[in-house]
Amino acid sequence: MSSQFDYSELQQIIELNSHTKNKAGVDENGHVFSNWMQDLGFEIKRYERVKIGDHLLFISNKTAGQKLLLLGHLDTVYPVNTFTQFHQDEHWIYGPGVCDMKGGNYVALSALRNVYQTLGGIANIDMLLVSDEETGSDDSRALTSELAPKYDACLVFEAAGKNGEVVIGRKGVGTFEIDLHGKAAHAGNHYIDGRNANLAAAHMLVSLTALTDLTKGTTVNVGQISGGIGANTISPKANLKVEIRYTKLEEKKRLLNRLNQIVCSASNWGVSAHLSGGIQRDVMQPNANQAALLQQLETIIGERLLTEKRGGVSDANITSAAGLPTIDGFGPFGDGDHTLDERACKASFVKRIEQVTKILAHYNAFQSKTVAERESAVVN
């Protein structure tokens, strides 16, 4: 593929606001992408949603052989009228979603086009684009998990690392809220009659933070705490918002067990506590099947793929947790994602498209027709 690349189509979708809560914008992004995929012979299965954008599954013909799932998302983090500009210089493209992850989706599309142009069709390669990844995939998680067992491997098109690294590990993440209910009392006249929810929350904050173990990649963060009525009142209520991240399933079990114990400790201060929330995305942990997939891909492209692990999560966590061998980071390299400085490296687009084209050509099970058969089909 030439190093010269036409970014006008990418500009078209980048300039469409597709904030997760902007259903119309997300659906328009999906509509544009659907038109491109239909040109390649994909059938579209639309999972309609009322409050968020529709999830889209692009389905190719099926025949014998391994089945490959390409995975991306249609939404971005930028609300309407906050960041819409697309521009470029010699080395970089700038704009909302250029690396997270409209740029990655476009890498997949470009590689599919290359394969289609070579053989005239695509088989055994499907693509799923969900609409709510940036808010935790709360709606699409079940769909992704349900589809995963139908495939033999999954490539996810989040941004690559600085040196083209693909992602083989991501932390698991859970988000929780603890609501504490005590008893209000006048802080001067009836101090001993109160049950201080703020005091219980403070003890919990210390205990939760102590669960962090950086040597194991485990972090527990009480990101927000609130409570009370005023300085002269024993606090009757408090709330903590907690996030856990972990790199191993053993740590997940430890954290959940201790979290429940800490919540139960509220009774030590005479207050009651209610825990809500749960695991948002489970850990993407390197394993033997993933290693075999990585080795196969390196053989296909004829070069080594550098790898890395990340603390952030993606929908690769979901497919990996469902048992599907998954490798992430097949998008372009970029930085500044989730900021007004988001950008992606032009050279990385070219490199990734070349690599993914080779991979998809290997998985493509489309049986090309002879010239005579094609001419006959046109005549008839």
Q: Which of 240, 257, 281 is the last residue of a domain?
A: 281
Q: Is residue 2 part of a domain?
A: no
Same structural domain for residues 216 and 138?
no
Q: What is the rounded CA–CA span in Å between residue 101 and residue 352? A: 14
Same structural domain for residues 110 and 217?
no
pLDDT given at position 371: 38
Q: Is residue 376 part of a domain?
A: no
Same structural domain for residues 226 and 349?
no
Same structural domain for residues 253 and 310?
no
Q: How many CA atoms lie within 13 A of 340 on its CB side?
A: 6
Which pTM value belongs to this model?
0.89
Same structural domain for residues 166 and 189?
no
| CATH number of domain containing 61 | 3.40.630.10
Same structural domain for residues 235 and 289?
no
**E strands present in the chain:** 43-47, 55-59, 68-73, 87-88, 92-94, 125-130, 153-156, 166-170, 172-181, 185-186, 219-227, 233-234, 237-246, 272-281, 307-310, 326-327, 334-335, 343-345
The mean predicted confidence, pLDDT, of the chain is 94
Q: Which of 227, 254, 281 is the last residue of a domain?
A: 281
297 pLDDT higher than 90? yes
Same structural domain for residues 293 and 352?
yes
Order of strands, sheet of 87-88, starting from the edge strand that comes earlier in the sequence:
87-88, 92-94, 343-345, 334-335
Same structural domain for residues 322 and 364?
yes
Same structural domain for residues 248 and 296?
no
Q: Is residue 208 part of a domain?
A: yes
| CATH number of domain containing 260 | 3.30.70.360
Domain region containing 210: 173-281
pLDDT given at position 366: 85
Condensed to tens digits (0 to 9), the pLDDT of residues 214-268 reads 999 999 999 999 999 999 999 999 999 999 999 999 999 999 999 999 999 999 9
Q: Is residue 90 part of a domain?
A: yes
Position of tokens 């196969």?
Answer: 296
Condensed to tens digits (0 to 9), the pLDDT of residues 18-37 reads 999 999 999 999 999 999 99
Q: What is the rounded CA–CA span in Å between residue 95 and residue 5? A: 17
The answer to whether the beta carbons of residues 130 and 140 sit under 8 Å apart is yes
Q: Is residue 269 part of a domain?
A: yes
Position of tokens 């009836």?
Answer: 190
As for how many domains the chain has, the answer is 2
Q: Which of 281, 298, 323 is the last residue of a domain?
A: 281
Position of tokens 């408090």?
Answer: 238
The conformation of residue 237, written as its DSSP 8-state character, comes to: E
Same structural domain for residues 155 and 180?
no
What is the bridge-based pairing of β-strands 233-234 and 185-186? antiparallel
